[in-house]
Amino acid sequence: FDAITKTEEKEGTVDLSEYKNIWVYAEQRKGKIMNVALELIGEGRRLSREISDEAKVCALIVGNNVEALAKECFEYGADSVYMIEDPLLENYTTDGYTKVIVDAVKEHKPEIVIYGATHIGRDLAPRVAARLNTGLTADCTRLDIKVSSYMDYAIKNTTLDVSTLDPNSDDKGLKQTRPAFGGNLMATIICPKTRPQMSTVRPGVMQKRERQAGATGELIKVKPAIAKSDIKIEILDIVKSAKEIVSLTDAEIICSGGRGLGDSSGFELIKKFADKVGGVVGSSRAAVDAGWIDHSHQVGQTGTTVKPKIYFACGISGAIQHLAGMQTSDIIVAINKDPDAPIFEVADYGIVGDLYKVIPQIIEQWDNA
């Protein structure tokens, strides 16, 4: 809040009425829109209804030869697509993408800009926010629109210099919720009196809309002012990680193993289980920390947030940091030998027993089910 107060002193109060619409950074890699961007377009639609009837949801696509991707954004709910294309933007570079996005935001003045909390989103959003002198809330798990009155600020934010606020104005602010203090509490954050309001949002948390085949909207081509000298790095090659790639966020069924497996060989059983039910292998952090499985499989606050149709938690106690990443799954099945394990509090189906006895029985019975 101090920073905001100083900004306002230096540059004058931001005229909020100039800023309109919700932008979603539609991250693409090699011509494919990331799933999280489609989720955020869905979330943007929900938020726009809370702002006003006129508020639009706009996807922002940056790249080269990416016009075909606009169709997908429209079909998932975007009213408009801002398209920034240039051969220099073929591959993601921090400098290049920051520059063209900052320029576009300055020109078109969106009220809210949201990004997926992917590696790229986490790299890009803070730089854009710093250049625009605005705030950013990272790693959000929930967004709402809140009418924040003068009194509201004055009561809750004792460090804010209230003389900078207009007591007669109501600011429809973005209320951003994210885990804090190791997931032990959920913090709600607002960025009063600055625009655009910006957040990164975890993949797998928001709801993608049903695809409306054939839906169209307004395509706005933005000519970027970018030169080779704006980009300080040169990408020679993009090499895929040699390790097994798991797509936890897209999986409909996840079979996760925890410390209750006893050792790394327990993941052979979990893999067999996942193969049988058509799922992918997840894990708790305890299993990752023990070196039994790669971090890319970790579900939870410091791993991936998932929302599959079925989540099997095998030998996982249900620590709050694990729950933070999977508790919105449609159906949770817990297998644990301790009947008092906290995982049973969120489970739809609980099996109390030794996973080494229970899982082979499920595998055996699955085809007859």
Footprint of ligand FAD (CB under 6 A): 182, 258-260, 284-287, 298, 300-303, 315-317, 319, 321-322, 325, 335-338, 341, 354-356
Smallest distance from the beta carbon of 163 to ligand FAD, in angstroms? Answer: 39
Smallest distance from the beta carbon of 104 to ligand FAD, in angstroms? Answer: 34
Q: Which is nearer to ligand FAD, 116 or 318 (CB)?
A: 318
> 241 φ, ψ to 5°?
-60, 140
| Three-state SS at 298 | strand
Smallest distance from the beta carbon of 308 to ligand FAD, in angstroms? Answer: 16
Smallest distance from the beta carbon of 262 to ligand FAD, in angstroms? Answer: 7
Q: Which is nearer to ligand FAD, 160 or 319 (CB)?
A: 319
Smallest distance from the beta carbon of 90 to ligand FAD, in angstroms? Answer: 34
What is the residue whose two structure tokens read 């639609």? 45
Structural element, H or E, at residue 369: none
Alpha-carbon span 136 to 122, nearest angstrom: 11
Q: Residues 53, 19: contact at Cβ < 8 Å?
A: no
Smallest distance from the beta carbon of 356 to ligand FAD, in angstroms? Answer: 6
Q: Which is nearer to ligand FAD, 70 or 248 (CB)?
A: 248
Q: Which is nearer to ligand FAD, 83 or 351 (CB)?
A: 351
Q: Which is nearer to ligand FAD, 210 or 354 (CB)?
A: 354
For residue 254, the cross-strand partners are 280, 311
Residues in the chain: 369
Q: Which of 81, 65, 68 is nearest to 25 (CA)?
A: 81
Q: Which is nearer to ligand FAD, 224 or 279 (CB)?
A: 279
Alpha-carbon span 174 to 245, nearest angstrom: 35
Smallest distance from the beta carbon of 3 to ligand FAD, in angstroms? Answer: 26
Alpha-carbon span 77 to 39, nearest angstrom: 10
Smallest distance from the beta carbon of 326 to ligand FAD, in angstroms? Answer: 9
Alpha-carbon span 248 to 306, nearest angstrom: 7
Q: Which is nearer to ligand FAD, 116 or 300 (CB)?
A: 300
Q: Residues 222, 70: contact at Cβ < 8 Å?
A: no
Smallest distance from the beta carbon of 100 to ligand FAD, in angstroms? Answer: 34
Q: Residues 300, 313: contact at Cβ < 8 Å?
A: no
End-to-end CA distance of the chain: 57
Q: Which is nearer to ligand FAD, 63 or 266 (CB)?
A: 266
Radius of gyration in angstroms for the set of CA atoms belonging to the chain, rounded to a whole number: 23
Q: Which is nearer to ligand FAD, 61 or 288 (CB)?
A: 288
| Residue 196: cis peptide before it, omega within 30 degrees of 0 | yes
Q: Residues 124, 98: contact at Cβ < 8 Å?
A: yes
Smallest distance from the beta carbon of 301 to ligand FAD, in angstroms? Answer: 4
Q: Residues 35, 249: contact at Cβ < 8 Å?
A: yes
CA 289-293-294 angle, to 5 degrees, is: 85
- Which tokens in the block code for residue 11? 């540059």
Q: Which is nearer to ligand FAD, 134 or 298 (CB)?
A: 298
Alpha-carbon span 251 to 248, nearest angstrom: 5
